[in-house]
Amino acid sequence: MKRYSAFAVAREALRYHSGWERAWAAPEPKAQYDVIIVGAGGHGLATAYYLGKNHGITNVAVLEKGWLGGGNTGRNTTIIRSNYLQDPSAAIYEKARSLYETMSQDLNMNVMFSPRGVMMLAQTEHEIRGYKRTAHANSLQGVSTEFIGPERVKELCPIIEIRGPRYPVLGALWQARGGTARHDTVAWGYARACSAMGMDIIQNCAVTGVRQENGRVTGVETEKGPIGCAKLGIVVAGHSGVLAEMAGFRLPIESVALQALVSEPIKPCMDVVVMANTVHGYMSQSDKGEMVIGGGADGYNNYTQRGSFLHIEETVRALVETFPIISRLKMLRQWGGIVDMTGDRSPIISPTPLGGCFINCGWGTGGFKAIPGSGWATAEMIARGAPGPLASAFGLERFREGRFIDESVAAGVAH
């Protein structure tokens, strides 16, 4: 793999960019692999990468039914934060946030990580109490956050209206080292690194069945024929229930669309990420000047990746009260991603009833921020055959035992 650098860009410019090689190979599948990962989104590719980097397992295939990063990884709003309330959540999200800090260097790909800061507005007395509690919990967890007053909110984000008649800004939970990254490049960087380690990334290869014998997985059926494996990782976000049914078990999740939109580009006016749970919306400004706007998930189960006028109206109407400046903007584009929601709004990283089969799902509205931590934990679980410290609390058995990790407030809209 040729390294990317300023010198490489200059060299290729002199020869009319004729020397660039493919970022990752496009092989035909082999008959047998040590590990198959289903899903070439951020979580699946990160799992494969850390299998190779941390555990030396490189006889790996990553299967994708469409194109690499074409699911939720390419359909989110790129927010990165780790200020969750429960200890297991804070641990895995903080691991992910810290890995984002060095990801560009680790992958030799500029993922455009921007630690611009993330604030979650408190617009009711209830939210003030909740966010102060989270700030205290984060202090004990070693996660750097603080609760700030409305004057500091206005200083950090001058375009915000803090004296709204219905939803005044009473303060905010502020994480200065949170921020954003370029979602496509995260997937591309992991894919390039996996390919360089000798792993096979196979696109347009939908899994149609899971082969098993004596209670253990032996491989998968695909559109490109059967492929054998010793271990199988299912990392397919909103379609996790479909793959689980193929493997013979059910998951406690539901799939719904989460919608977002971007405005036309405007001059820089906002250099932080702002989330407003009370009005059910959040916003940041992209490097191209677009206002990236998102809200809540659909209220009914579906597998659509399209937007709807209902959410445009609900989300924009809510945000206009807090950000009057956006009332004159034109919408540029809108999209939806299929998110998989658990009852406690926390993920599942777990072995399954099928021997040798492991699953990573249930990230709901907050999957992008977790990608490197999720991949680290899932790779460790697959390599060891059992969850490690980061993943141990997120097993399937917690739903049977009533041992929930309740992040419904932290993850309800604050992506």
pLDDT digits (tens, 9 = 90+) for 347-399: 999 999 999 999 999 999 889 999 999 999 999 999 999 999 999 999 999 99
In this structure, what CATH number is given to the domain that contains residue 105? Answer: 3.50.50.60
pLDDT digits (tens, 9 = 90+) for 34-66: 999 999 999 999 999 999 999 999 999 999 999
Q: What is the pTM of this model?
A: 0.95
Shared domain for 351 and 272, answered yes or no, is no
Helix (H) or strand (E) holding 244: helix 240-247
Residue 17 lies in a domain: no
Confidence category of residue 410, pLDDT binned at 50, 70, 90: low
CA 401 distance to own-chain centroid: 27
In this structure, what CATH number is given to the domain that contains residue 174? Answer: 3.30.9.10
Pick from 174, 184, 144, 190: nearest CA to 287: 184
The total number of structural domains in the chain stands at 2
Check residue 281 and give its pLDDT: 87
Shared domain for 244 and 260, answered yes or no, is no
Confidence category of residue 412, pLDDT binned at 50, 70, 90: very low
Judge whether residue 409 has pLDDT over 70: no
Q: Locate 400 and state its tokens.
A: 């049977």
Shared domain for 102 and 228, answered yes or no, is yes
Dihedral class, residue 148 (left if φ above 0, else alpha if ψ from -120 to 50, else beta): beta
Last residue of a domain, one of 326, 342, 358: 342
- The residue whose two tokens read 């209206």 is 161
Shared domain for 123 and 204, answered yes or no, is no
Measured over the CA atoms of residue 27, residue 33, residue 35 and residue 38, the dihedral's sign is positive
Check residue 137 and give its pLDDT: 96
Longest CA–CA separation in the chain, Å: 65
Pick from 404, 340, 397: nearest CA to 374: 340
Check residue 386 and give its pLDDT: 96
Judge whether residue 161 has pLDDT over 50: yes
Q: Are 232 and 48 in contact (CB under 8 A)?
A: no
DSSP 110: -
pLDDT digits (tens, 9 = 90+) for 207-234: 999 999 999 999 999 999 999 999 999 9
CA distance 80 to 284: 12
What number is the average pLDDT over the span 144-151?
97
- The residue whose two tokens read 């969850």 is 387
Pick from 81, 32, 108: nearest CA to 282: 81
DSSP 394: G
Residue 67 lies in a domain: yes
Domain region containing 228: 28-109+182-253+347-407
What number is the average pLDDT over the span 21-27?
92
- The residue whose two tokens read 């916003």 is 283
Last residue of a domain, one of 327, 342, 357: 342
Average pLDDT, the chain: 93
Judge whether residue 411 has pLDDT over 80: no
pLDDT digits (tens, 9 = 90+) for 298-325: 888 888 888 788 878 888 888 898 999 8
CA distance 307 to 8: 40
